[in-house]
Structure 1
Amino acid sequence: MEAVDSVGLSGGLICMWDEDFFQMEESNKNRNFLHIKGRMVGCNEYVNFLNIYMPQGITAKKDLWDALSVIVNSLDGLWIIGGDFNSVRFREERRNCSFKSSCANNFNSFIYDAGLFEYDLRGARFTWRSENGKKLSKPDRFLVNSEFFNNWPEARVQALPRLWSDHCPIILISKSVNFGARPFRVFNSWLGKEGFSEVVEEACSNFSCPGYPPDVFLVRKLGYIRCKLREWRDKMIRKDCEVCSRAMEEIAAIESILDSRELSEEEEWILAENKNIVAEIEYAKVMDLKQRSRVKWAKEGDENSKFFHSLINCRKLAIRSMA
Protein backbone atom coordinates (compact mmCIF):
# COMPACT_ATOMS: atom_id res chain seq x y z
CA MET A 1 0.00 0.00 0.00
CA GLU A 2 0.89 3.65 -0.45
CA ALA A 3 -0.83 6.60 1.18
CA VAL A 4 -0.93 10.39 1.41
CA ASP A 5 -1.90 11.71 4.84
CA SER A 6 -4.92 13.95 5.26
CA VAL A 7 -4.78 17.53 6.45
CA GLY A 8 -7.38 18.06 9.14
CA LEU A 9 -10.66 16.53 8.04
CA SER A 10 -10.01 16.81 4.30
CA GLY A 11 -7.84 14.98 1.82
CA GLY A 12 -6.07 11.72 2.48
CA LEU A 13 -5.42 9.13 -0.23
CA ILE A 14 -4.61 5.44 -0.10
CA CYS A 15 -3.91 2.77 -2.72
CA MET A 16 -3.90 -0.92 -1.82
CA TRP A 17 -3.23 -3.94 -4.02
CA ASP A 18 -2.63 -7.66 -3.97
CA GLU A 19 1.02 -8.41 -4.74
CA ASP A 20 0.00 -11.69 -6.38
CA PHE A 21 -1.68 -9.63 -9.12
CA PHE A 22 0.17 -6.31 -9.18
CA GLN A 23 3.82 -5.42 -8.64
CA MET A 24 4.55 -1.75 -7.95
CA GLU A 25 7.74 -0.33 -9.45
CA GLU A 26 7.48 3.36 -8.54
CA SER A 27 5.17 5.88 -6.94
CA ASN A 28 4.70 9.65 -7.00
CA LYS A 29 3.01 11.46 -4.13
CA ASN A 30 1.49 14.90 -3.93
CA ARG A 31 -0.88 16.71 -1.62
CA ASN A 32 -3.73 16.09 -4.08
CA PHE A 33 -2.81 12.91 -5.92
CA LEU A 34 -1.10 9.53 -5.53
CA HIS A 35 0.43 7.90 -8.62
CA ILE A 36 1.28 4.18 -8.62
CA LYS A 37 3.08 2.55 -11.55
CA GLY A 38 3.71 -1.16 -11.99
CA ARG A 39 2.84 -4.30 -13.85
CA MET A 40 -0.14 -6.62 -13.55
CA VAL A 41 0.07 -10.38 -13.90
CA GLY A 42 -0.75 -11.39 -17.45
CA CYS A 43 -0.34 -7.85 -18.79
CA ASN A 44 2.81 -6.90 -20.69
CA GLU A 45 2.19 -3.17 -20.44
CA TYR A 46 2.73 -0.82 -17.54
CA VAL A 47 -0.36 0.04 -15.53
CA ASN A 48 -0.69 3.49 -13.96
CA PHE A 49 -3.14 4.18 -11.16
CA LEU A 50 -3.78 7.82 -10.31
CA ASN A 51 -5.77 8.48 -7.14
CA ILE A 52 -7.03 12.08 -7.00
CA TYR A 53 -8.49 14.47 -4.46
CA MET A 54 -8.91 17.84 -6.18
CA PRO A 55 -8.67 21.15 -4.31
CA GLN A 56 -11.64 23.49 -4.07
CA GLY A 57 -10.34 26.59 -5.82
CA ILE A 58 -10.80 26.96 -9.57
CA THR A 59 -7.24 28.23 -10.10
CA ALA A 60 -5.76 25.46 -7.98
CA LYS A 61 -7.72 22.87 -9.94
CA LYS A 62 -6.54 24.33 -13.25
CA ASP A 63 -2.89 24.21 -12.16
CA LEU A 64 -3.20 20.62 -10.97
CA TRP A 65 -4.96 19.52 -14.16
CA ASP A 66 -2.15 21.02 -16.24
CA ALA A 67 0.44 19.15 -14.16
CA LEU A 68 -1.47 15.88 -14.39
CA SER A 69 -1.89 16.25 -18.14
CA VAL A 70 1.89 16.42 -18.50
CA ILE A 71 2.35 13.30 -16.35
CA VAL A 72 -0.27 11.27 -18.25
CA ASN A 73 1.09 12.24 -21.67
CA SER A 74 4.70 11.57 -20.69
CA LEU A 75 4.25 7.98 -19.46
CA ASP A 76 3.25 5.00 -21.58
CA GLY A 77 0.97 2.17 -20.56
CA LEU A 78 -2.56 1.83 -19.27
CA TRP A 79 -3.99 4.69 -17.22
CA ILE A 80 -6.76 4.51 -14.61
CA ILE A 81 -7.59 7.82 -12.96
CA GLY A 82 -10.18 7.93 -10.21
CA GLY A 83 -11.18 9.81 -7.11
CA ASP A 84 -12.97 12.95 -5.94
CA PHE A 85 -12.49 15.59 -8.66
CA ASN A 86 -14.56 18.23 -6.81
CA SER A 87 -15.87 19.16 -10.25
CA VAL A 88 -18.54 18.14 -12.72
CA ARG A 89 -18.45 18.05 -16.49
CA PHE A 90 -22.01 19.12 -17.27
CA ARG A 91 -24.78 21.10 -15.63
CA GLU A 92 -26.96 17.97 -15.39
CA GLU A 93 -24.46 16.44 -12.94
CA ARG A 94 -25.55 18.87 -10.21
CA ARG A 95 -28.89 19.44 -8.51
CA ASN A 96 -29.58 22.43 -6.29
CA CYS A 97 -25.84 23.25 -6.45
CA SER A 98 -24.06 26.11 -8.16
CA PHE A 99 -22.60 25.17 -11.54
CA LYS A 100 -19.34 26.87 -12.55
CA SER A 101 -18.97 26.71 -16.31
CA SER A 102 -15.32 27.81 -16.24
CA CYS A 103 -14.43 24.94 -13.91
CA ALA A 104 -16.35 22.46 -16.09
CA ASN A 105 -14.60 23.75 -19.22
CA ASN A 106 -11.19 23.34 -17.59
CA PHE A 107 -12.09 19.82 -16.49
CA ASN A 108 -13.28 18.81 -19.97
CA SER A 109 -10.17 20.35 -21.52
CA PHE A 110 -7.99 18.22 -19.22
CA ILE A 111 -9.88 15.07 -20.26
CA TYR A 112 -9.54 15.97 -23.95
CA ASP A 113 -5.84 16.94 -23.78
CA ALA A 114 -4.93 13.76 -21.86
CA GLY A 115 -6.92 11.57 -24.27
CA LEU A 116 -9.11 10.09 -21.55
CA PHE A 117 -12.47 8.32 -21.69
CA GLU A 118 -15.22 7.91 -19.11
CA TYR A 119 -17.53 4.91 -18.64
CA ASP A 120 -21.18 5.46 -17.83
CA LEU A 121 -22.03 5.36 -14.13
CA ARG A 122 -24.54 2.65 -13.19
CA GLY A 123 -26.51 2.23 -10.01
CA ALA A 124 -26.87 5.95 -9.28
CA ARG A 125 -26.97 9.28 -11.04
CA PHE A 126 -25.14 11.25 -8.33
CA THR A 127 -22.29 10.18 -6.04
CA TRP A 128 -22.54 12.92 -3.38
CA ARG A 129 -25.44 14.38 -1.45
CA SER A 130 -25.80 16.80 1.41
CA GLU A 131 -26.94 15.70 4.84
CA ASN A 132 -30.53 16.77 4.22
CA GLY A 133 -30.50 15.17 0.76
CA LYS A 134 -31.43 18.37 -1.10
CA LYS A 135 -28.08 18.98 -2.79
CA LEU A 136 -26.75 16.32 -5.18
CA SER A 137 -23.64 16.16 -7.32
CA LYS A 138 -21.34 13.79 -9.22
CA PRO A 139 -17.74 14.68 -8.25
CA ASP A 140 -16.51 11.05 -8.18
CA ARG A 141 -15.65 9.17 -11.37
CA PHE A 142 -13.15 6.99 -13.22
CA LEU A 143 -11.22 8.09 -16.31
CA VAL A 144 -9.14 5.76 -18.51
CA ASN A 145 -6.95 6.23 -21.56
CA SER A 146 -7.60 4.80 -25.01
CA GLU A 147 -5.33 1.76 -24.45
CA PHE A 148 -7.36 0.69 -21.42
CA PHE A 149 -10.65 1.42 -23.15
CA ASN A 150 -9.70 -0.65 -26.21
CA ASN A 151 -8.75 -3.63 -24.03
CA TRP A 152 -11.92 -3.46 -21.91
CA PRO A 153 -14.63 -1.71 -23.94
CA GLU A 154 -17.41 -3.43 -21.95
CA ALA A 155 -16.10 -2.33 -18.55
CA ARG A 156 -18.45 -0.35 -16.34
CA VAL A 157 -18.46 1.89 -13.27
CA GLN A 158 -20.87 0.77 -10.56
CA ALA A 159 -22.09 2.94 -7.68
CA LEU A 160 -22.39 1.04 -4.40
CA PRO A 161 -24.80 1.79 -1.52
CA ARG A 162 -23.98 4.87 0.55
CA LEU A 163 -23.67 3.97 4.25
CA TRP A 164 -21.55 6.19 6.52
CA SER A 165 -20.26 8.79 4.08
CA ASP A 166 -21.85 11.58 2.09
CA HIS A 167 -20.14 10.01 -0.96
CA CYS A 168 -21.20 6.66 -2.35
CA PRO A 169 -18.33 4.28 -3.26
CA ILE A 170 -17.76 3.59 -6.95
CA ILE A 171 -15.99 0.60 -8.44
CA LEU A 172 -14.51 0.06 -11.89
CA ILE A 173 -15.39 -3.44 -13.12
CA SER A 174 -13.51 -4.69 -16.17
CA LYS A 175 -15.07 -8.17 -16.21
CA SER A 176 -17.90 -8.59 -18.68
CA VAL A 177 -21.07 -9.96 -17.08
CA ASN A 178 -23.39 -9.82 -20.07
CA PHE A 179 -25.01 -13.26 -20.16
CA GLY A 180 -27.58 -12.32 -22.79
CA ALA A 181 -31.29 -12.06 -22.29
CA ARG A 182 -32.52 -12.72 -18.76
CA PRO A 183 -34.55 -15.97 -18.59
CA PHE A 184 -38.23 -15.79 -17.67
CA ARG A 185 -40.18 -18.82 -16.48
CA VAL A 186 -43.84 -19.40 -17.40
CA PHE A 187 -45.66 -21.76 -15.06
CA ASN A 188 -48.29 -24.22 -16.24
CA SER A 189 -50.72 -22.96 -13.61
CA TRP A 190 -50.85 -19.59 -15.38
CA LEU A 191 -52.42 -21.13 -18.49
CA GLY A 192 -55.76 -21.51 -16.75
CA LYS A 193 -55.68 -18.10 -15.06
CA GLU A 194 -57.97 -15.33 -16.18
CA GLY A 195 -56.33 -12.84 -18.54
CA PHE A 196 -53.21 -14.85 -19.40
CA SER A 197 -54.12 -15.56 -23.03
CA GLU A 198 -55.43 -12.02 -23.54
CA VAL A 199 -52.18 -10.47 -22.26
CA VAL A 200 -50.04 -12.61 -24.60
CA GLU A 201 -52.24 -11.98 -27.64
CA GLU A 202 -52.42 -8.24 -26.98
CA ALA A 203 -48.66 -7.99 -26.49
CA CYS A 204 -48.03 -9.85 -29.76
CA SER A 205 -50.42 -7.67 -31.73
CA ASN A 206 -49.37 -4.31 -30.25
CA PHE A 207 -45.60 -4.81 -30.52
CA SER A 208 -43.90 -2.72 -33.19
CA CYS A 209 -40.18 -2.43 -33.85
CA PRO A 210 -39.58 -1.58 -37.53
CA GLY A 211 -36.17 -1.40 -39.13
CA TYR A 212 -34.45 -4.14 -37.10
CA PRO A 213 -33.10 -7.44 -38.48
CA PRO A 214 -35.23 -10.54 -37.78
CA ASP A 215 -33.12 -11.88 -34.90
CA VAL A 216 -33.11 -8.55 -33.06
CA PHE A 217 -36.82 -8.12 -33.77
CA LEU A 218 -37.57 -11.53 -32.21
CA VAL A 219 -35.51 -10.80 -29.10
CA ARG A 220 -37.20 -7.44 -28.58
CA LYS A 221 -40.64 -8.93 -29.13
CA LEU A 222 -40.04 -11.69 -26.58
CA GLY A 223 -38.75 -9.06 -24.16
CA TYR A 224 -41.91 -7.00 -24.65
CA ILE A 225 -44.12 -10.05 -24.03
CA ARG A 226 -42.10 -10.89 -20.93
CA CYS A 227 -42.55 -7.37 -19.58
CA LYS A 228 -46.31 -7.52 -20.06
CA LEU A 229 -46.51 -10.99 -18.50
CA ARG A 230 -44.51 -9.79 -15.50
CA GLU A 231 -47.01 -6.99 -14.93
CA TRP A 232 -49.91 -9.44 -15.24
CA ARG A 233 -48.17 -11.91 -12.89
CA ASP A 234 -47.67 -9.32 -10.15
CA LYS A 235 -51.30 -8.26 -10.32
CA MET A 236 -52.46 -11.89 -10.36
CA ILE A 237 -50.38 -12.75 -7.28
CA ARG A 238 -51.70 -9.75 -5.35
CA LYS A 239 -55.26 -10.61 -6.36
CA ASP A 240 -54.89 -14.27 -5.32
CA CYS A 241 -53.43 -13.24 -1.96
CA GLU A 242 -56.36 -10.90 -1.32
CA VAL A 243 -58.94 -13.52 -2.40
CA CYS A 244 -57.29 -16.20 -0.27
CA SER A 245 -57.17 -13.91 2.77
CA ARG A 246 -60.86 -13.06 2.47
CA ALA A 247 -61.78 -16.72 2.01
CA MET A 248 -59.79 -17.73 5.08
CA GLU A 249 -61.46 -15.00 7.14
CA GLU A 250 -64.93 -16.14 6.05
CA ILE A 251 -64.05 -19.76 6.78
CA ALA A 252 -62.86 -18.86 10.27
CA ALA A 253 -65.98 -16.76 10.90
CA ILE A 254 -68.37 -19.51 9.77
CA GLU A 255 -66.52 -22.24 11.67
CA SER A 256 -66.78 -20.16 14.84
CA ILE A 257 -70.58 -20.29 14.46
CA LEU A 258 -70.49 -24.09 14.77
CA ASP A 259 -69.65 -23.75 18.46
CA SER A 260 -73.06 -22.23 19.14
CA ARG A 261 -75.42 -23.57 16.48
CA GLU A 262 -75.78 -25.49 13.23
CA LEU A 263 -75.17 -23.79 9.91
CA SER A 264 -77.91 -22.75 7.57
CA GLU A 265 -78.00 -23.96 3.99
CA GLU A 266 -76.62 -20.63 2.75
CA GLU A 267 -73.78 -20.69 5.30
CA GLU A 268 -72.88 -24.24 4.30
CA TRP A 269 -72.72 -23.14 0.65
CA ILE A 270 -70.48 -20.16 1.56
CA LEU A 271 -68.19 -22.43 3.58
CA ALA A 272 -67.88 -24.90 0.71
CA GLU A 273 -67.22 -22.17 -1.86
CA ASN A 274 -64.49 -20.56 0.24
CA LYS A 275 -62.83 -23.93 0.81
CA ASN A 276 -62.86 -24.51 -2.95
CA ILE A 277 -61.24 -21.11 -3.50
CA VAL A 278 -58.45 -21.87 -1.01
CA ALA A 279 -57.99 -25.35 -2.48
CA GLU A 280 -57.65 -23.99 -6.04
CA ILE A 281 -55.05 -21.44 -4.98
CA GLU A 282 -53.09 -24.05 -3.03
CA TYR A 283 -53.28 -26.48 -5.95
CA ALA A 284 -51.79 -23.82 -8.25
CA LYS A 285 -48.93 -23.33 -5.78
CA VAL A 286 -48.35 -27.08 -5.67
CA MET A 287 -48.22 -27.17 -9.48
CA ASP A 288 -45.62 -24.40 -9.45
CA LEU A 289 -43.51 -26.24 -6.85
CA LYS A 290 -43.74 -29.43 -8.86
CA GLN A 291 -42.58 -27.63 -11.99
CA ARG A 292 -39.72 -26.01 -10.08
CA SER A 293 -38.61 -29.39 -8.72
CA ARG A 294 -38.56 -30.88 -12.23
CA VAL A 295 -36.40 -28.02 -13.47
CA LYS A 296 -34.00 -28.52 -10.58
CA TRP A 297 -33.89 -32.26 -11.21
CA ALA A 298 -33.20 -31.70 -14.92
CA LYS A 299 -30.39 -29.35 -13.95
CA GLU A 300 -28.80 -31.22 -11.04
CA GLY A 301 -30.48 -34.61 -10.71
CA ASP A 302 -28.25 -36.59 -13.04
CA GLU A 303 -25.03 -35.23 -11.62
CA ASN A 304 -23.04 -36.92 -8.90
CA SER A 305 -24.02 -34.16 -6.50
CA LYS A 306 -25.29 -33.68 -2.97
CA PHE A 307 -28.78 -33.15 -4.37
CA PHE A 308 -28.68 -36.49 -6.20
CA HIS A 309 -27.42 -38.49 -3.21
CA SER A 310 -29.90 -36.91 -0.81
CA LEU A 311 -32.79 -38.07 -3.01
CA ILE A 312 -31.32 -41.54 -3.43
CA ASN A 313 -30.78 -41.96 0.31
CA CYS A 314 -34.42 -41.09 0.93
CA ARG A 315 -35.48 -43.99 -1.30
CA LYS A 316 -33.24 -46.67 0.17
CA LEU A 317 -34.95 -49.94 1.10
CA ALA A 318 -33.72 -51.94 4.07
CA ILE A 319 -33.58 -55.66 3.08
CA ARG A 320 -32.84 -58.05 5.90
CA SER A 321 -31.85 -61.65 5.36
CA MET A 322 -33.59 -64.26 7.42
CA ALA A 323 -31.32 -66.86 8.98
Structure 2
Amino acid sequence: MSTTSLIIFNNFVNEIGPVGIPLQDDLYMWCNYREHQSFVHFDRFLFSPEFILAFPSLSQTMLDKSISDHNAVLLCEDMKNLGFKPFKCFNYWFEEANFDQTVVDSIKFLKQANSRVRTDCLLRGAKVAIQKWSHGVNKNFRANIINMEQRLTTLEADLQENGYHPNVLNDIKCTRTALWKEYRKEERACCQKSRVKWISNSD
Protein backbone atom coordinates (compact mmCIF):
# COMPACT_ATOMS: atom_id res chain seq x y z
CA MET A 1 0.00 0.00 0.00
CA SER A 2 1.39 3.40 -0.99
CA THR A 3 1.92 6.33 1.37
CA THR A 4 -0.84 8.27 -0.39
CA SER A 5 -3.29 5.44 0.15
CA LEU A 6 -2.39 5.31 3.83
CA ILE A 7 -2.97 9.04 4.20
CA ILE A 8 -6.36 8.79 2.47
CA PHE A 9 -7.35 5.89 4.70
CA ASN A 10 -6.23 7.68 7.87
CA ASN A 11 -8.16 10.79 6.88
CA PHE A 12 -11.26 8.69 6.24
CA VAL A 13 -10.96 7.03 9.65
CA ASN A 14 -10.50 10.39 11.38
CA GLU A 15 -13.52 11.88 9.63
CA ILE A 16 -16.04 9.17 10.48
CA GLY A 17 -14.76 8.59 14.02
CA PRO A 18 -15.17 4.79 14.05
CA VAL A 19 -15.75 2.86 17.24
CA GLY A 20 -14.24 -0.52 18.02
CA ILE A 21 -15.81 -3.14 20.24
CA PRO A 22 -13.87 -5.56 22.46
CA LEU A 23 -12.67 -8.79 20.91
CA GLN A 24 -13.54 -11.78 23.07
CA ASP A 25 -10.58 -14.04 23.82
CA ASP A 26 -8.24 -11.31 22.66
CA LEU A 27 -5.43 -13.30 20.99
CA TYR A 28 -3.16 -12.80 18.03
CA MET A 29 -4.91 -13.02 14.67
CA TRP A 30 -2.01 -13.99 12.41
CA CYS A 31 1.00 -16.27 12.59
CA ASN A 32 3.73 -16.86 10.00
CA TYR A 33 4.42 -20.50 11.08
CA ARG A 34 8.17 -20.11 10.75
CA GLU A 35 11.14 -20.72 12.98
CA HIS A 36 11.38 -16.99 13.70
CA GLN A 37 7.77 -16.53 14.70
CA SER A 38 5.61 -13.47 14.30
CA PHE A 39 2.22 -13.04 15.96
CA VAL A 40 0.29 -9.94 14.95
CA HIS A 41 -3.09 -8.31 15.60
CA PHE A 42 -4.82 -7.95 12.23
CA ASP A 43 -8.39 -7.87 10.96
CA ARG A 44 -10.88 -5.98 13.07
CA PHE A 45 -14.30 -4.39 12.73
CA LEU A 46 -14.76 -0.64 13.10
CA PHE A 47 -18.23 0.91 13.32
CA SER A 48 -19.81 4.30 13.14
CA PRO A 49 -21.46 5.45 16.40
CA GLU A 50 -24.85 5.28 14.67
CA PHE A 51 -24.30 1.62 13.85
CA ILE A 52 -23.40 0.82 17.46
CA LEU A 53 -26.59 2.53 18.65
CA ALA A 54 -28.67 0.53 16.16
CA PHE A 55 -27.08 -2.80 17.20
CA PRO A 56 -26.06 -2.45 20.85
CA SER A 57 -25.61 -6.18 21.49
CA LEU A 58 -22.93 -6.73 18.84
CA SER A 59 -19.96 -8.87 19.73
CA GLN A 60 -16.90 -10.01 17.83
CA THR A 61 -15.25 -13.31 18.59
CA MET A 62 -12.14 -14.82 17.07
CA LEU A 63 -12.94 -18.27 15.70
CA ASP A 64 -10.66 -21.26 16.10
CA LYS A 65 -7.70 -21.53 13.78
CA SER A 66 -8.42 -22.83 10.29
CA ILE A 67 -6.38 -23.47 7.14
CA SER A 68 -5.67 -19.76 6.66
CA ASP A 69 -2.80 -17.90 8.33
CA HIS A 70 -5.42 -15.48 9.64
CA ASN A 71 -7.98 -16.19 12.33
CA ALA A 72 -11.50 -15.42 11.20
CA VAL A 73 -13.38 -12.92 13.36
CA LEU A 74 -17.11 -13.50 13.76
CA LEU A 75 -19.40 -10.49 14.12
CA CYS A 76 -22.81 -11.42 15.45
CA GLU A 77 -25.78 -10.60 17.62
CA ASP A 78 -27.09 -14.11 17.99
CA MET A 79 -25.71 -17.53 17.02
CA LYS A 80 -28.10 -20.36 16.22
CA ASN A 81 -27.05 -23.92 15.51
CA LEU A 82 -29.58 -25.45 13.12
CA GLY A 83 -28.03 -28.88 13.53
CA PHE A 84 -27.32 -31.63 11.03
CA LYS A 85 -29.90 -32.43 8.35
CA PRO A 86 -29.84 -36.04 7.08
CA PHE A 87 -29.70 -36.91 3.39
CA LYS A 88 -30.21 -40.23 1.58
CA CYS A 89 -26.91 -40.38 -0.28
CA PHE A 90 -24.05 -37.91 -0.47
CA ASN A 91 -21.72 -37.78 -3.46
CA TYR A 92 -18.62 -37.52 -1.28
CA TRP A 93 -19.32 -41.08 -0.06
CA PHE A 94 -17.92 -42.33 -3.38
CA GLU A 95 -14.48 -41.10 -2.28
CA GLU A 96 -14.65 -42.56 1.22
CA ALA A 97 -12.51 -45.52 2.23
CA ASN A 98 -14.14 -48.93 1.76
CA PHE A 99 -17.11 -47.56 -0.23
CA ASP A 100 -16.12 -49.23 -3.50
CA GLN A 101 -15.27 -52.46 -1.73
CA THR A 102 -18.65 -52.46 0.03
CA VAL A 103 -20.46 -52.30 -3.30
CA VAL A 104 -18.23 -54.94 -4.91
CA ASP A 105 -18.63 -57.32 -1.96
CA SER A 106 -22.42 -56.97 -1.97
CA ILE A 107 -22.60 -57.80 -5.70
CA LYS A 108 -20.24 -60.78 -5.32
CA PHE A 109 -22.30 -62.09 -2.43
CA LEU A 110 -25.55 -61.90 -4.41
CA LYS A 111 -23.97 -63.54 -7.47
CA GLN A 112 -22.57 -66.37 -5.39
CA ALA A 113 -26.02 -66.96 -3.91
CA ASN A 114 -27.67 -66.87 -7.36
CA SER A 115 -25.56 -66.78 -10.51
CA ARG A 116 -28.62 -65.73 -12.57
CA VAL A 117 -29.62 -62.83 -10.32
CA ARG A 118 -31.10 -59.88 -12.21
CA THR A 119 -29.40 -56.47 -12.41
CA ASP A 120 -32.20 -54.73 -10.54
CA CYS A 121 -31.74 -57.18 -7.65
CA LEU A 122 -28.01 -56.47 -7.64
CA LEU A 123 -28.69 -52.74 -7.44
CA ARG A 124 -31.19 -53.16 -4.62
CA GLY A 125 -28.72 -55.35 -2.75
CA ALA A 126 -25.97 -52.77 -3.24
CA LYS A 127 -28.33 -50.07 -1.95
CA VAL A 128 -28.97 -52.03 1.25
CA ALA A 129 -25.22 -52.59 1.71
CA ILE A 130 -24.52 -48.87 1.21
CA GLN A 131 -27.19 -47.95 3.75
CA LYS A 132 -25.61 -50.23 6.34
CA TRP A 133 -22.14 -48.92 5.49
CA SER A 134 -23.28 -45.30 5.80
CA HIS A 135 -24.23 -45.81 9.46
CA GLY A 136 -20.51 -45.98 10.24
CA VAL A 137 -19.68 -42.78 8.34
CA ASN A 138 -19.23 -39.67 10.41
CA LYS A 139 -21.50 -37.13 8.69
CA ASN A 140 -21.25 -34.40 11.29
CA PHE A 141 -18.71 -32.27 9.44
CA ARG A 142 -19.32 -29.26 11.62
CA ALA A 143 -18.28 -31.15 14.77
CA ASN A 144 -15.18 -32.51 12.98
CA ILE A 145 -14.29 -29.05 11.70
CA ILE A 146 -14.78 -27.45 15.12
CA ASN A 147 -12.56 -30.09 16.76
CA MET A 148 -9.80 -29.59 14.19
CA GLU A 149 -10.01 -25.81 14.40
CA GLN A 150 -9.77 -26.01 18.18
CA ARG A 151 -6.75 -28.27 17.83
CA LEU A 152 -5.08 -25.77 15.49
CA THR A 153 -5.79 -23.02 18.00
CA THR A 154 -4.18 -25.10 20.77
CA LEU A 155 -1.15 -25.90 18.62
CA GLU A 156 -0.68 -22.26 17.69
CA ALA A 157 -0.94 -21.27 21.37
CA ASP A 158 1.82 -23.84 22.02
CA LEU A 159 4.00 -22.11 19.43
CA GLN A 160 3.35 -18.73 21.01
CA GLU A 161 4.19 -20.00 24.49
CA ASN A 162 7.03 -22.44 23.87
CA GLY A 163 8.55 -21.26 20.59
CA TYR A 164 9.46 -23.13 17.41
CA HIS A 165 9.24 -26.92 17.39
CA PRO A 166 9.25 -29.03 14.19
CA ASN A 167 6.83 -31.63 15.59
CA VAL A 168 4.27 -28.96 16.40
CA LEU A 169 4.58 -27.44 12.93
CA ASN A 170 4.20 -30.88 11.34
CA ASP A 171 1.10 -31.51 13.48
CA ILE A 172 -0.31 -28.17 12.31
CA LYS A 173 0.32 -29.12 8.68
CA CYS A 174 -1.39 -32.53 9.03
CA THR A 175 -4.36 -31.04 10.87
CA ARG A 176 -4.83 -28.32 8.23
CA THR A 177 -4.76 -30.98 5.49
CA ALA A 178 -7.42 -33.02 7.27
CA LEU A 179 -9.44 -29.87 7.93
CA TRP A 180 -9.39 -28.98 4.24
CA LYS A 181 -10.84 -32.41 3.39
CA GLU A 182 -13.67 -31.87 5.89
CA TYR A 183 -14.39 -28.47 4.37
CA ARG A 184 -14.67 -30.08 0.93
CA LYS A 185 -17.05 -32.76 2.22
CA GLU A 186 -19.26 -30.17 3.89
CA GLU A 187 -19.23 -27.98 0.78
CA ARG A 188 -20.23 -30.85 -1.51
CA ALA A 189 -23.00 -32.00 0.84
CA CYS A 190 -24.43 -28.46 1.11
CA CYS A 191 -24.25 -28.04 -2.67
CA GLN A 192 -26.11 -31.32 -3.20
CA LYS A 193 -28.81 -30.36 -0.70
CA SER A 194 -29.30 -26.97 -2.33
CA ARG A 195 -29.73 -28.54 -5.79
CA VAL A 196 -32.37 -30.94 -4.51
CA LYS A 197 -34.17 -28.10 -2.74
CA TRP A 198 -34.08 -26.00 -5.92
CA ILE A 199 -35.51 -28.87 -8.01
CA SER A 200 -38.23 -29.39 -5.42
CA ASN A 201 -39.17 -25.75 -4.75
CA SER A 202 -37.85 -24.02 -7.90
CA ASP A 203 -37.28 -20.27 -7.71
Q: TM-score, length-normalised on structure 2?
A: 0.47
Structure ID, larger Rg: 1
Q: TM-score, length-normalised on structure 1?
A: 0.31
